[in-house]
Every structure is written in C-alpha cells, then in structure tokens.
Amino acid sequence: MSVARERFGFMKDGREAFLFTIRNSRGTAVSITNFGAVLVSLLVKKGDGSFQDVVLGYDSLEEYFQNYPMFGATVGRNANRISNALFVLDDKVYHLAKNRGCHNIHSDKENGFHKVLWDYEITGNNSLKLSYRSTDGEQGFPGTIDVAVTYHLTEGDGVIISYHAVSDKRTLLNMTNHSYFNLKGHGAGSIMDTEFMILADAYTPVDKDIIPTGEICRVQGTPMDFNSPQRLDRVIKAEYGQLKLAGGFDHNFVIGNPHSGVRKMAEAVNRTAGVRMEVYSDLPGMQFYTGNSLKDVSGKEGAVYSKWSGFCMEPQYFPNSINTKGFEVPILNKGEEYKSTTIYQFSSFGESFEEDYI
C-alpha cells in the first residue's frame, strides 16, 4: 500500500492544490484532490484482469473550478434539496442560495465544500485525511464547524469515506459523496446494461421540482422496486409518473434499520465489464441518480458524458428533511460529534458469477 502526492494545479489566489493517489497491492487505486475533497479517479479490476477508471470527472484542476455536475464532490453542508431555499432552526430563519429554481440543491454549487481548498494529512500508507473549517454563516448556515473527510483504501478493494465534524453552534449537517460511476469505464457511454439492487422497501416520492412530497411509499409493484436485481434499460422508461418527473431515477430510497450502524444499502453489477460495486453506510437513506441531466460534458481523456452515462449512489439523510414533518432531521448540536461512514466495495468476476449472483 502507498500514498503518492503530486501537483494538481494552482488556485486563483496562488495556493497549490495536490492530487493524492492511494494504491493497494492488487493494483486498485483511488485519486483524490484536496480541492473540494473531490474523488477524481478510481481504478478497479475488470473480469478480464485489466483495470479501468470507473468514475466520471476531469483531467485538470481548472475544470473542477466549474464542475456543474459535481463529479466526485464532497457535498456540504447539506446534500440534496431544501425547499424554497430556507429553513427554520431555533426560531430563526436561514436563507440559502436559490440555485435550482426557487429551491436550493447541494447547499452552494459555487462556494460549497467542493469548491474550497482543504488541509491534508497522509495518515499511514492507505488513507488521506482532509480537513476544513467552515465559518459561521458560510453558505447561509449557522455555526463554525470543523469538518474532516478521510479516504481509506483497503487491500480488499473497498473505498471507505469517513466523515467527522464538530460545531460551535446548533446547525444542520448532511454530507455525502457525489461520484458518478460507470462500471464499464468512465468514458464507456451508456449505463443502461448495468443491473441495480437497492435494499429498500420504500422511497420518498417527489413533486415536479424533485422535492419530496413528504410521503413514504412502498416500492412493491412499482419500477422503484430493486429488491431483486433490475437491469436499468428495462425499468427506466416505464410508464410511471415518478420516472417521468425526474427523467429517470433521482429519488431517495428508505434503507431499513437506520440506527443499526453500517449495513449494505445497494449493489450495482455490469456483466460486460465483470465488475460489482456494493454500497454500505450508516445513514437512513440513499439517493439513486442516473445522470438524467448530463448534457455532452467534456470529461477525462476526451470522453463526452451524456444523459445516462453515469450513476450516483449517495447515502444521506432524506432530502428536505429540515422542512418535512416525519423525516429524521440531521441536526448537529453544539459540541456534538458528527460521524458517518460510506463504503464503496468493488470486486470482479468471470463466468462463474451468474450462479453466484442469482
């Protein structure tokens, strides 16, 4: 195992940003930049023994200065939507950026956690800790918080992302990673032949602005049911109102046993590539997004990312939970520790996989 550091470029104020690559003895490698605590690339082994980068992204730091799809982003302070770009906490109204119509998405797409330079510490030979102090009022949120995100690569090809934070004031905090995956390779085009399994009996329906309605609906008997593996091209164009509203999947799934610690949430498999990805987390929900809004984005190595060429699986608290009765709200009290873990576990397979999977 090893962690290598190289120059990735310079910030507009002249500060240097770095790219860190953690590599294990099996050849799996994950690269992260301390600009935005962004996951830039992830080399995993395919069924034929070759390695492929399975996350969408850019070649240069300058391209990440824009990054409207939020490739690889560490999202904070709050992931996903907040209706009307405001919330009330302790009888005070907090106003956020209106960056999705009259609503807010991902806190601040121009000045969020993914657009600042983080401090770094290489911790051992297989992990990188990134730290940032977000001051009171930043992005519109209360409290100065000290945040840390640690990326850890295991010998067993698991990428563990650990979050930690402490605030000096009661605040809202709901972080996630916004990587887009394509198990055939970041530039391989459509994800339609990828199979998905999501261990959820319910999901939160959305309105026309992709804001949860407040309902929690059963998935049984609908195209939202991924409790058995579903190939994407067989469900995404179903005559179902929720899929038409979002142009595909862009929904939060209610994962069982939310306070039981880290447990398996989902799985994605591509048989052509011979790659399986499993998702584990201790959070109550997972946003499943199929890249519906991607529009010919120029990415790494000359790749062009179009609609449905990458998917996100983002463990998090439910969208708009701060404004929705009945949803668990991610409030961080003064002096409390915020801790959360997400694991993306990879494995490759050959011809014997069929009977193992089914």
- The closest of 132, 127, 158, 155 to 262, measured between CA atoms, is 158
pLDDT at 358: 36
Q: Annotation-wise, does 201 bind a ligand?
A: no
Distant-in-sequence, close-in-space partners of 94: CB < 8 Å, separation ≥ 6: 86, 87, 88, 140, 141, 142
d(CA 282, CA 268): 19
pLDDT at 351: 53
The tokens 């009307």 sit on which residue? 84
Residue 179 marked ligand-binding: yes
Closest CA to 57 of 177, 173, 200, 152: 177
Q: Report whether 151 contacts 1 (CB < 8 A).
A: no
Active site (catalytic) residues? 178, 314
For residue 258, what pLDDT is reported?
A: 80
Contact 1, 153 (CB under 8 A): yes
The reported pTM is 0.96
Is 81 labeled as ligand-binding? yes
pLDDT at 134: 98
Domain that holds residue 209: 2-357
Distance CA 293, CA 150 (A): 29
Q: What letter does residue 308 receive in the DSSP assignment?
A: T
The CATH number of residue 104's host domain is 2.70.98.10
Burial call 234-255: b when 16+ CB within 10 Å, e when fewer: ebbeeeeebbebbebbbbbbbb
Read off the DSSP letter of residue 257. Answer: -
Which candidate, 109, 101, 130, places its Cα nearest to that of 17? 130
What pLDDT sits at residue 233? Answer: 97
Round to whole Å and give the CA distance between 74 and 64. Answer: 12
Is residue 178 marked as binding? yes
Q: What angle do CA 12, 13, 14 make, to 5 degrees?
A: 90
Would you state the pLDDT for residue 168? 97
Residue 180 annotated as part of some ligand binding site: yes
d(CA 272, CA 233): 15
DSSP 184-235: T-TTS---TT-EEEE-EEEEE-B-TTS-B-S--EE-TTSTT--SS-EEGGGT
pLDDT 10s per residue in the chain (358 long)? 899 999 999 999 999 999 999 999 999 999 999 999 999 999 999 999 999 999 999 999 999 999 999 999 999 999 999 999 999 999 999 999 999 999 999 999 999 999 999 999 999 899 999 999 999 999 999 999 999 999 999 999 999 999 999 999 999 999 999 999 999 999 999 999 999 999 999 999 999 999 999 999 999 999 999 999 999 999 999 999 999 999 999 999 999 888 889 999 999 999 999 999 999 999 999 999 999 999 999 999 999 999 999 999 999 999 999 999 999 999 999 999 999 999 999 999 985 455 444 3
Number of domains in the chain: 1
Q: Check the annotation: does 2 bind a ligand.
A: no
pLDDT value at residue 93? 98
Question: What does the alpha-carbon distance between residue 197 and residue 254 come to, in Å, rounded to a whole number?
Answer: 13
Total residue length of the chain = 358
